[in-house]
Amino acid sequence: MNFFVDISSFFCYNPYMNINEFAQKKPYLFWYTKDFQSLSEESIVEAILNFGSWSDTQELIKILGIKRVAEIFRKKSGVKRSNYRPEIKNYFELYFKKYV
């Protein structure tokens, strides 16, 4: 049994895919645009955390790094009118508090 876990994906940026290429692979999350290159990191993070699967979230973390995803989430979820659903906001506040 292997007790070692590779945590490099939690902290490292994935140089092989950019965030807009990732968004382009998930058109069902970005139904409101055809121009994936114009999407900001903030809008991509918001859509993935709100509507994506857990594997989408993990892939997002591999691309941007957990610190950057948490930074974007905290910045956007901390405003008075946030687009994060309440249960998503609560979950990721706890998740990033524990892992970042």
How many structural domains comprise the chain?
A: 1
Q: 71: domain range?
A: 16-99
Give the CA distances from residue 91 to residues 4, 13, 41, 45, 64, in Å, rounded to whole numbers and listed in that order: 26, 23, 20, 15, 19
> Is the pLDDT reported for residue 9 higher than 50?
no
Question: Which uninterrupted H or E stretch holds 8?
Answer: helix 8-11
pLDDT tens-digit series, residues 47-62 = 999 999 999 999 999 9
Give the CA distances from residue 7 to residues 37, 74, 75, in Å, rounded to whole numbers and listed in that order: 29, 22, 25
Does residue 52 lie within any of the structural domains?
Answer: yes
Does residue 11 lie within any of the structural domains?
Answer: no
Does residue 45 lie within any of the structural domains?
Answer: yes
Q: Whole-model pTM? A: 0.81
- Confidence at residue 8, expressed as pLDDT on a 0 to 100 scale: 45
Does residue 4 lie within any of the structural domains?
Answer: no
* 74 within 8 A of 96, measured Cβ to Cβ: yes
Categorize the per-residue pLDDT at 81 as very low, low, confident or very high, splitting at 50, 70 and 90.
confident
Alpha carbon 51 to chain centroid, angstroms: 11
